[in-house]
Structure 1
Amino acid sequence: MSLSPAWLDELRARTLLSGLIGKSVKLQRAGREWKACCPFHNEKSPSFTVNDDKGFYHCFGCGAHGDAIRWMTDQRGLPFIDAVKELAQAAGLDVPQQDPRAREKAERASTLHDVMAQAEAWYVEQLGRAEGAHARAYLQKRGISEALARTFRIGFAPDSRTGLRSALKEIGDEKMVECGLLIQPEEGKRDPYDRFRGRLMIPIRDARGRTIAFGGRILGEGEPKYLNSPETVLFDKGRTLFNLDRAAAASRKADRVIVVEGYMDVIALAGAGIDEAVAPLGTALTEGQLERLWRLDPRPILCFDGDGAGQKASVRAIGRALPFLEPGRTLRFLTLPQGQDPDDLIRTGGRAAMEALLETPEPLVDRLWRHEEAALPLDTPEARAGLKQRLAEHSRAIADKDVSHQYFQEFRQRVDEKFAPQRREWPPRGGAGGAGGNGGGFRPRKVQDKRGNWVAAPAPPLPGTHAVNRSGVGPIEARAILAGLVRLPDSIGAHAEPLSHLHFADPAMDRVRSALVEAAWRGEALEGDGISTILLRVGAIDLLQKAGRANGLAFSFQRGDADPERARRDLGEVIDVMLKRSELDAQIAAVNASFRNGSDGHGWEEAMEEQQHLQRERLETERRLSELREQAEL
């Protein structure tokens, strides 16, 4: 089919836009235009205008804008070609001819739509007969009123192998088999029989409201509980959402679309006045269904049961969605109380209970973090590295580079906050001895403050105590580490964990460190020209020219003639030792601060012992760094 611009212009010219929009929106004349409260967002005073002369609508509140075709795709949720066909039919305009095969398929589909409409009418009729009494009782038990059943055209299939076949015998078996209403035995010699028997029948419609399939709910014992039509010329299960035809318009007014797990959840929400809900058809959300959802709302809310199956379904949906995330296009999640589904919640708490949960849906990034954080114990370095790896893989799955980078940065920040080294406060609160005695602890000497009060005098730091280097690793050592990483790029990924917690004093070198760690987390190529690309990206291509034996430093990993395995081992140890030194500096600073601030004297002896212990460990790190430098000279 070829739709030329001239033909589309003719279609627009033959369509009275105010008449089209006025079918679902109350318009008021305003001079040469029409005005109304916008159907795309909630408002109390009209800001939505329709101009028939210019052939477009516009909302000054939310910016919605378009012509007749855009109205059909955005407000009605129709695919473009379906919107064109419906407008052309109303305007008496012939759609350009398709190729013979496509035309034949369209004609056959049109005929099959009629078959499905007749089947739906027969099922609805059976629900009202005597044989449908137990089906009506089931609806009443589920809280589904007669009016709600009529809205969704719910019917009943009697427990008979030939009930529908006999009722629609004039249609013929072939078309009914093609629609999925009858089952043709494989041997082909036996007569076909009704697919749906003894089931509550729920029509599945396309975006234009035409019945294309059925979902049958068994009323007694048996499996499967729900039986869907097979895929047919009309029914593409992976691209269809139950209640899409009704939810499309409702979602524009509610400014949201809700995805629930089943038919009954959708119907229950509609009974409570929440019409913007849809459901996949018994399987995990597909890419095609996600695209349809995003066409209605860039942030649909996925509502899953609180049980394990519901949580697994949410994770599967995230996996499907990640590659297609874009700026502004995401998913949100709502977890129901354990053991409840939307139907249960509505029956026990009404609409208010559901709306209370819908007010604060969980962002996709939070749901994914929560899942991975709880997936496995995180009590070992290997487990924490595994968490980082899984989060990095999720970030890399996002095709949009900017969104991928934002997820990577967000996950990295959360990991850093969760596993940041814990610092001890000295002196300990509530130390031994109480307010009246020393309790066996050391009592410091007293001095008078400016007001004449006697207070504990702060003890001076021990000789040789290092205050924390708040600006980070010094430039000489930082340059040595960067030189080693550039020479041995496979070490970046191996030591990304401790490197992410180091901080270099020189801002330019710290940017290089951060860029190398992020590249490793994203899985970028670091061999060959990979490092040069990263250095060029952060403007540091000439930064490492002075690396090597600068100022007497000569670790093995700075030497081109060193054994590669030894160089890798030494580089890893230097990184670990420097991180340990930074942590010790922070702990020593905390102890020293307790002395400077003064205290009531309790716990000072323990604090001084801790200070000495930390200082010994600090000296040990310096000794080990010296050994690594000396060994490199051998």
Structure 2
Amino acid sequence: MSGLIPQDFIDDLIARADIVEVVGRRVQLKKAGREFKACCPFHDEKTPSFTVSPGKGFYHCFGCGAHGTAIGFLMEFDHMSFVEAIESLASSMGVEVPRSESDKPARRYDELFSLMDTVARHWQGAMKDTPAAVDYLKKRGIDGATAKRFGIGYAPDGWSNVLDRFGKSEEATERLLATGLIIRKDNGQHYDRFRDRIMFPIRDGRGRTIGFGGRTLGDGEPKYLNSPETVLFHKGRELYGLFEARQALRQIEQLVVVEGYMDVVALARHGIDFSVATLGTATTSEHLNQLFRLTDNVCFAFDGDRAGKAAAWRALENALPLIREGRQLRFVFLPQGHDPDTFVNEQGADGFVTALDNGVALSEFLIQELASQVDMQTVDGRARLAELARPLVNKIPAGVYRELLMASLADAVGLTAPKLEKMIAGRAEHGGSTGSHFASSPKKRRLPSGAGKPSVVRHAITLLLNHPQAGVSLDVDKLAGVNRPGTDLLRALIETLIAEPNITTAGLLERWRHDDQGRHLGKLAAAALPLEEDFDPAAELAECLDQLAAAGRKERIDFLIEKQRLGGLTDDEKSELRALN
């Protein structure tokens, strides 16, 4: 079996690829200034919001948020795997894909599955030997039988527990890398991805461990950490708990989708064996197809806050093309401050099942949410409701379900169903997407200025992505001691640029494709920045680092002063405080 593809080849391929040519072969593009525009191929729209930037080497849709490099586009549009996309792009450019022969063992799927199961068992053993981890599960209401059923374990604190135990040779280390269990630093060294976390094995339909989810014992960040995308694990396809549900139930009458693996485990602890969770991503059409292959009755149970409503809306949009008569899809929004875990522990299984029974049907949720955006007491408001509903209704296949939804919508608007249907069908070409109905309003898609401007860290990352060459001479040591959110990502980006000064915007995006911290980089890369000739991104970046350094210094001074007030400082800390002042 062929070996792994070297990272430097991938970087060079992305830098050399003409993304306009790659996308233009599949989508009709129109020149718009320095960029190209088209109607997005990944969601239904009639007004172009999909842009391709040849200078940055990536695409971005301001409607649905889809973004990526030439490789990412091939994966999404042509439904290719990562390796297939690289091979296809290289072939179109007349380049042969090199393989590292020493990496062959890391690509053998049977060995990778075996490694994942072995590590899972290792962490299960570590759980038994760690009283703090056992106590944490008990406090969360998880008993031993439930923990055993889901294979819950504990990854001890330390940077190289897994690496030392399972990476004793070069080939073994490559297997750990291929499965996402360790991370390679820029200097070629490695460290464990999961440290001091409760570990939840993610299993495929055959019960094989393909990835992990880790939850911190304390208040560390990120609270939840999933395996990256690997040859085994694709979070847009997998559902946590689905294997366990199929094992527990001979016939699945309904499935409930929740947001986290703790929700699934807590519900199972109370005898509710039909819940599954997405893995740090919105519910995709692939998720929904899996669910509907098992049952026609699917329910989503989310928090009742705005984030929960946003997650529900994204699920609704992806579900519309799959809805037909016989399929039921409902939404449950739990009381403020509750998630399925806390709710079932407080109200019990009967209380949760009652909440499911009282869930809101998809059609009702759709109309309610759109109606909440307009003034239903006015003609203009009801007309606006019809406009908002048009692109959503057009996603639904023709049939009884669509006709019934049209009848309900017509009743809300104050028209007859045939007249509304005719209007929607006749004017569909003027419709737009409501893909960002909850996620973000149009004015928030680009970095704002003035009031409500982004954090210094966010602005610095945006500058780096848009002007990578401006980061090669930055003094990354200025970030030492700065603990603001996103600083680790900013530091890693700068270090990468210093080590690889020729890397492009697309190269950076591809490098962070599978990193949990990097999932928002595409939006920042699409941000509008000044085009004036005197705009100096390097000077602005240096100013950002100076501001962060000053803020870090002030935070350290405040900390030392407060510590001195409460209990005194060590001699070293006193010297540090004098130096800082």
Alignment-derived partner of residue 222 in structure 1: 220
For residue 148 of structure 1, the aligned residue among 124, 139, 146 is: 146
Unaligned runs of 5+ in 2: 1-103, 431-581
**In the superposition, relative to structure 1, how do residues 329 and 120 fare at CA in structure 2: closer, same or farther (>3 Å)?**
same
CA distance in 2, matches of 1:336, 1:257: 17
1:569-620 deviation per Cα after TM superposition (whole angstroms, max 9, x unaligned): xxxxxxxxxxxxxxxxxxxxxxxxxxxxxxxxxxxxxxxxxxxxxxxxxxxx
Q: Aligned AA for 1:109?
A: Y
Partner of 1:167: 165
CA distance in 2, matches of 1:525, 1:201: 48
Q: Does 1:521 align with 2:424?
A: yes
After superposition, the Cα gap between the structure-2 partners of 1:116 and 1:517, relative to the gap in structure 1 and judged at 3 Å, is closer
The two structures have a TM-score, normalised by structure 1, of 0.49
1:386-425 aligned at under 5 Å gives the runs 386-416=384-414
> What's the secondary structure of 1:304's corresponding residue?
strand
**Count, aligned residues:** 325
Q: Which residue of 2 aligns with 1:288?
A: 286
Q: How many Å separate the matches in 1 of 2:397 and 2:252?
A: 30
Partner Cα distance (1:371, 1:141) in 2: 37
Shift of 1:251: 5.2
Displacement of 1:263: 0.5
1:179, 1:516 → 2: CA distance?
A: 55
**1:201 to 1:517, Cα distance in 2 relative to 1, 3 A:** closer
Listed one character per residue, the Cα deviations across residues 101-128 of structure 1 (whole Å, up to 9, x for unaligned) are: xxx9997111100010111111111112
Q: Which residue of 1 aligns with 2:466?
A: none
Separation in 2 of the partners of 1:206 and 1:374? 40
Give 1:337's aligned amino acid: P
Q: Does 1:340 align with 2:243?
A: no
How far the C-alpha of 1:516 sits from its partner, in A, is 5.1
Return the alpha-carbon distance in structure 2 between the equivalents of residues 217 and 521 of structure 1.
47
Give the TM-score, by structure 2 length. Answer: 0.53
Distance 1:321 1:158, change over 3 A: same
Compared CA separation, residues 191 and 125, structure 1 to 2 (3 A): same
Query: Residues of 2 paired with 1:521 and 1:392: CA distance?
Result: 6
Q: What code does the residue aligned with 1:112 have?
A: L
Deviations 1:233-270 (A, max 9, x none): 11011000001101125455451111111101100010
What fraction of aligned residue pairs are identical, expressed as a percent? 40
1:116 is matched with which residue? 116
Cα distance in structure 2, aligned partners of 1:357 and 1:113: 38
Native 8 Å contact 2:302 2:312 kept in 1: yes
Query: Residue type of the partner of 2:123?
Result: Y
Q: Give me the whole-angstrom Cα distance separating, in 2, the residues matched to 1:346 and 1:525.
A: 44
CA distance in 2, matches of 1:253, 1:317: 24
Distance in 1, Cα, partners of 2:374 & 2:336:
21
Q: Which residue matches 2:101? A: none
Is the 8 Å Cα contact of residues 179 and 232 (structure 1) preserved in structure 2?
A: yes
- State yes or no: 1:329 paired with 2:312: no
1:179 is matched with which residue?
179
Partner AA of 2:423 in structure 1 = A
What secondary structure does 1:242 align onto?
Answer: coil
Equivalent residues in 2 for 1:555-574, closer than 5 Å:
none
Local SS of the residue matching 1:300: strand
Q: Is the 8 A contact 1:262 1:280 kept in 2?
A: yes
SS of structure 2 residue aligned to 1:328: coil
Partner residue, 1:125: 125
TM-aligned CA deviation for residue 136 of structure 1? 1.4
Q: Secondary structure at the match of 1:200?
A: strand
Please identify the structure whose Cα radius of gyration is greater: 1
Identify which of 191, 194, 199 aligns with 1:193.
Answer: 191
C-alpha separation between the residues in 1 aligned to 2:287 and 2:173?
32
Please give the residue correspondences for 1:301-316 in structure 2 after superposition, counting only pairs within 5 Å. Answer: 301-316=299-314
Please state whether the residue corresponding to 2:297 is helix, strand or coil.
coil
385-394 vs 205-214, greater mean Cα deviation: 385-394
3-state SS of paired residue (1:265)? helix
Partner of 1:356: 354
The residue type equivalent to 2:332 in the other structure is: L
- The 3-state SS of whatever aligns with 1:111 is helix
More deviation, 327-336/157-166: 327-336
Specify the alignment match of 1:274 in structure 2: 272
Which residue of structure 2 aligns with residue 464 of structure 1?
Answer: none
C-alpha distance in 2, partners of 1:226/1:290? 23
Q: Distance in 2 between matches of 1:392 and 1:169?
A: 55
Could you tell which deviates more after superposition, 216-225 or 262-271? 216-225
- Deviation track 1:556-580 (CA, whole Å, cap 9, x = no partner) reads xxxxxxxxxxxxxxxxxxxxxxxxx
Cα distance change on mapping 1:515 and 1:245 into 2, 3 Å: closer
What's the CA shift for 1:152? 1.0
Distance 1:272 1:250, change over 3 A: same
Q: CA offsets per residue over residues 267-301 of structure 1, 9 Å max, x none? A: 00100011111000022101110100101111211
CA displacement 1:331-389 (0-9 Å, x = unmatched) = 11222222211111121121121122223332111111111122233343222210122
1:251 and 1:257 in contact (8 A); partners too: no
CA deviation profile, 1:12-64 (whole Å, cap 9, x unmatched):
xxxxxxxxxxxxxxxxxxxxxxxxxxxxxxxxxxxxxxxxxxxxxxxxxxxxx
Q: Distance in 2 between matches of 1:192 and 1:255?
A: 46
